[in-house]
Every structure is written in structure tokens, then in C-alpha cells.
Amino acid sequence: MKPILEIEKISKKFRIAHELLPYLSLRERMVQMLSFRKTKSSEEFWALKDISFTVQAGDSVGIIGKNGAGKSTLLKILSRITPPSGGRIISRGRIASLLEVGTGFHPELTGRENIYLNGSILGMRQREIISKFDAIVDFSGVEKFLDTPLKHYSSGMQLRLAFAVSAFLEPEILVIDEVLAVGDAEFQKKCIGKLDEVSRSGRTILFVSHNLSVVRNHCNVGLVLKSGMMVKQGPVAECIDYYLGSMDSNTYGADSSVALFDPPAGNTMWINKIESRKNGQASSVFYTGDEISFKLNITCKQNLREPKIGLTFRNQEGMSILFTNNRFQMAEMDGTEFNGTSEITCNLGQIPLESGRYFVTFYLADDHKDHQVIENAMSFEVEQIDIWGRGQVPAKGVAPMWWPAKIHMKSVSKS
Amino acid sequence: MEYEIKRTHQFRLDLRELWEFRELLYFFTLRDIKIKYKQTVLGAAWAVLQPLLMMAIFTLFFSKSIHTAGELPYQLFVFSGLLLWNIFSSGISNAGNSMVTNANIIKKIYFPRIIIPLSAILSTMLDFFMSLILFSGLLIYFGKFSMIFSLALWIFPALLITLLTSFGLGSLLAALNVKYRDFRYVIPFMVQVLLFLTPVIYPVSVLPSESLQWILNLNPLAGAIDIIRCAISGASLNWSLIATSFIGSLFLFALGIFYFRRTEYYFADLA
């Protein structure tokens, strides 16, 4: 059987105008006016470059990649919103795209009117909308407010209505962009359930999400994009591992699993090196539930009975979510004297954190004062997975519930 | 069903696709009509009040100074102009801004973009029919009951010329507005200027020179308005003017569609 979608060397080029600094721009503009000459420079930027793949009917394709990798551009080309600059796509089925729920919703129109308008925008026939109308209303749970203008709906109600219309789309190929990232936990559960239903009914889905666990559980084929290029295609698990692995190989700069520090002048003790570890192996990318530990290498110029070592976890918003040190929690000690170079392992157990990037601040002190504080010395990435095997991932916004830590100290050499 | 998505810069009319999306055109038009008078006390009565008040004001100022041809009272003269002028003015301002106001939709979903300016033009039809009813009432009031039948016949060619002109210019402005937002300011200004360059409140004959009259008659609306005025006053039709207007409106229509369809591929990137 011929593939339902053939994507052949699709490229998309954008022109970006160089904006100069404000003060330069004013001058530039005056020069421009005086010289009657165009000095504005522009640069070509390839949002996508030579993407080729085929999709078989019934496949669920998960497209993964960082922000700016070209995922949304690819979906926009597939949905014919924007044409490619090169290459072509052969489609053997009707494509419906869901780049947003509730496209075209108008606040002044009633719920009923918006169902018809939105359904029609999504490509449903009027007959189709009429026949599914009751089911849509039922699914949305807003039947009491059907004849109320949409502007009086709560945002949750609007979202439910919007999703309800989208849920009854029945194209051969469905293109979805990150629409599941909105709404509360119950809503997301509903969305994911519907997604499952659609893929089980044999339809083809192309799906972009940052929620890798959803991609893992609901797609069979994966596609990894990186700076506009396709770097990996294959079974979804392989693609996700590849993607996480490539994040590990230091593309952020500060997020490699090893960080080295120069001794600060005048200090009597300092941190040389920190390594983050996943299940005992160096890594800065974790799944929820992985064992996380940090291995520190420190130097003490004076003999200390027990140095004080602490760490703070902050989330992307800068909120502190964990603070601990070896005085709060009894450390396992190998030896009693710390002089020269020592290795310290902080084993924090299984990560109970949701998806996101986390930053770790370390500090080193003795009984009298802080010797060294390294703000955001490391960062690591957590990807949420279905660790309980129940097919469900908790919604974002759940704080860590519990976090026992063990700290093990061992002196390795004496000066 | 098999189709290809690729780079397209050429013009294509693709009426078949437009036909496939006819229901969407209907819903967009319905939306534009519905939201126009939502949360207004008088609702669609505004459609009648607006031209009536404009007629009253123009009559107050000009009925003595402007001499209209034939036996046409100035009230009927100016209302017949406003009838078509209002389609044109609200048509091109709605259509001209339509791609920008609907940017959130065109960035998220595909459909033939021409539907948007087209629905903006079509949504002026409700107002038109309401003021047409009022106009028939005025004809009766001024003792011209028999003219209703000739109006009922000649309104169609006049309406056709007006719609072709409005849609052509409206879609041209819509496409230009996506790229050059200057047109957001140009459109209201243009409507204002055109009101005086179109024989709505005065007959072309007020102009002293023949050549100036000839230039004004190039405006397709001049012919369209003239058709209605001849129809209700019983004067004989000026066929050469009608032909000029019809050709002019076809030209604007073709130009608008051509430019719109040539440039629509980049709308989602720029809107």
C-alpha cells in the first residue's frame, strides 16, 4: 500500500531583517533618507531544511524537538497554512489540523453559534455538525449555557467547548500541535483519552508535544527535529532516547553533567568538580523516578572534622523547592578527618519531580562561616513519565511530595 | 483522493475549491452579520436609521442649492445614491481590514482566503435590503408608487456593478493591508474622499467642465447610481455610462482577485 503521506525534501526559508540597536537605527534611518539608498540588510533563515519522510496510514507520528527546531513550521506546511519554499508533500487523505482549539471562536456569539462556526472552520460539513451537535454539547458539558454569549463563559468552559468540537473531527489525517498543554488535569485526561480513541480508530495522527510521556504512550513512530533538520526517525522510544541523549551532549552550555570550578583566591576550602549522575552514570537528563545523585570533589586546606555541604534546587521560575545539607541529615562518614581532596556523594534518591529544568546551587561551609556559594552551579532536565504504569501522568504544577536524601562522605587522600 | 502541497506563486482561481468551502462562506457571513448588531438596543434598526439620518442631513444642506435632473425630489435623489454607497463604503472598509482582523484564524487553519473579504462584502447585504425596503416606502410617500417595479428590475444591474467594484477593491486592499499596514489608515481616508468623488449627494452635471464630468463617470459607482436614478425618475438610461461602469467594475474585480490570489500564500507568515 502506498503511504498516506509522502514528504519530499520540504524546506522553509524565512527572511529576517536585521534590526540594529535603537540609537543606530535612528541614525541609520536618517542616513537612509539622505542617501536615498536602502541599507537595511536581511538574512535568510532556514526554518526547515530538506525534511523527507513517509507516513503509513494508521501511524501516530510524534514530532519532537526543542523550541525553534521547526516542529510548528512543519505542521503549518502540512496543514497548508503556509507553503514550503521547496520540496513537496503528497497526501492521500483529507488533512484536518488542530493547531489550536477554538479557532475562530467569537466572544459575542453564543455557544451554539460558535459550535457551528468553529466546526465549519475546522472543515466539518453543516450536516455533520448537526448530526454530532448533541454529542458535542454532551462532551463539553455546557448545555445550560448554549444560548449565552461566549464572553460570559469561564475560560475553562470555553476550553471544554472548543475541545468538544475538535474531538468530533473525523479526517483521515489529523495534525495536532501542543493543544493538550492547556487546561487542568481532568481536561488533559479527557484529551488524551480522545487522542487514544482517534488513533485506535485507525486514523493517521501527526502530533507535536513537549510532553514526551504522552508522545511515548500514544505514538508508534517518532521524528526528531533539530534546528530545522530531521536528525532521527524511527520507533518512538528510540527517538525519545535519542532526543534526550542529544540534550545531554551539552547543547545548553551549562547543562552538561560535569561542572568544573577554579579555586577561589584566599579560600581555605572549595569545590573543584560536581558531577550529576543518573542511576550511577553521569547524566543531566532524567526521567521522573530515576535515581539522582551528585558527586562532588572538594579541597580543604585545613583539617576539618565535618565540612558543611548544602544544596538548593530551584525550578525554572527560580522558586526554591529543596534545601538540604549534611547537618540537617546525618551523613554516612568514611573517616573523620577532611584534609586535602575529598569526594562527597549526595544521593537524593528517586526524583519525584515533574518535567522541567532545575537548577542546583551548592554551598560549602564550616561551623563558622560559608566558604563558597556557587549559584546555579548545575542544571538538569527532568522528563515526566508514567512511572506508576497506570497510563497517566500527573498534571504540571504538582510539587514534590517527599524527598529523603542520603549523604555519604569519604576522604580519598591526605595532603 | 490525492493532492500535492508545494511551493506555489502562480495565480490560480480554483473555483472548485471555493465551491467546496461554500458552507464556511455562509458561516463567516452569518457571523459578520450577527456580531454587527449584538448588544445594541436598536439592533438592525440602525441599518435603516443611518441612511435615513444621512438623507435628512444632506437634504437640509443641499436640497436648495443642488439642482437635480428631472422631477426627482432631492430626498430620493440622495437616498438612491446612499443605497449603493453604503454597500461600497462599509464593504471596502470591512473587507480591507478583514485579513488583519481574522489573522488569528488564517494563521491556524487553511481555507481559501478569499472567503474572508467575500463574506465581508456579502454581510453588507442585510443592511442593503433593509434600506431598500425603506427606499420603497419613500417612493410611495413621494407619490412614485409605479416606479417600484422599474426599481425592482434595475436594482439588479446596479447592485452587480456595486458588488463587483466593492469586492474587487476590498480584496485588493485586504491583500495590501497584510503587507503594508499603512492601508489601515488609507482606507477610512479613501472612503471619505471617494464620497465626494462619487455622485452620491450631487449630480455629475454640477461640474462645469465636460472633461471633469467624464473623469467622474469613470467611477463604476457613478453608473450604478445613475441606473437607479433613471429607473425611479423615468429618464432614459445612459447606456454608454452603464457600459463604462460595468467594464470598470469588471476590471477592478479582476484586479482585486488576481492580486489577492497571487499574494495569499504569504498571508499566514505576515498577518
**Taking CB atoms and an 8 Å cutoff, what residues of chain B touch A117?**
27-28, 30-31
Check CB contact of A44 with chain B, cutoff 8 Å.
no
* Contact between residue B82 and residue B107 where contact means Cβ atoms under 8 Å apart: no
> In terms of Cα–Cα distance, which of A187, A219, A184, A383 is closest to A288?
A383
- pLDDT category of residue B70 using cuts at 50, 70 and 90: low
Mean pLDDT (whole number) for B65-93: 88
The per-residue pLDDT for A258 is: 82
The pLDDT > 90 percentage for chain B reads 60
Backbone angles phi, psi at A173, to 5 degrees: -125, 130
A120 touches chain B (CB under 8 A): yes
The residue with cell 496543514 is: A79
* Full-model pTM: 0.74
What's the whole-number mean pLDDT along residues A61-80? 88
Confidence of residue A41 (pLDDT cuts 50, 70, 90): low
Write down the ipTM of this complex: 0.89
Residue A253: the pLDDT is: 43
Taking each helix axis from N to C end, the angle separating B115-122 and B22-36, rounded to the nearest 10 degrees, works out to 50
Instruction: Show residues of chain A in contact with B264, CB under 8 Å.
Output: none
Q: Does B19 touch chain A (CB under 8 A)?
A: no
What residues pair up with A208 in beta bridges, in sequence order?
A63, A177
**Judged by CB atoms within 8 Å, which residues 155-174 of A form the interface with B?**
none
Fill in the amino acid letter for B163.
L
Strand order in the sheet with A229-235: A95-98, A173-177, A204-208, A60-64, A221-226, A229-235
pLDDT over 60 (residue A250): no
Q: Is B214 on the interface with A (CB under 8 A)?
A: no
Residue B16's Cβ-count burial label (10 Å; 0-12, 13-18, 19+) is exposed
The predicted structure's pLDDT at residue A260: 82
| Mean pLDDT, residues A205-211 taken together | 83
For residue A318, pLDDT over 70 is answered with no
What gap in Å lies between CA A246 and CA B271, rounded to an integer? 35
Burial status of residue B265 (CB atoms within 10 A of its CB: 0-12, 13-18, 19 or more): middle
Mean pLDDT of B220-230: 94
Cα(B127)–Cα(B167) distance, integer angstroms: 16
Q: Using the structure block, give the residue that is written with the C-alpha cell 510548528.
A: A72
Interface of A with B in 7-36 (CB under 8 A): 14
Among B222, B208, B229, smallest CA distance to B78 is for: B229
Q: Side chain identity at A283, as an amino acid letter?
A: S
**Average of pLDDT values for B246-257?**
96
The residue among A74, A70, A78, A69 whose CA lies nearest residue A5 is A78
Q: DSSP string covering A280-347, please?
A: TEE-SEEETT-EEEEEEEEEEEEEESS-EEEEEEE-TT--EEEEEETTTTTEEEE-S-EEEEEEEEEE
- Asked if A57 has any chain B CB less than 8 Å from its own CB, the reply is no
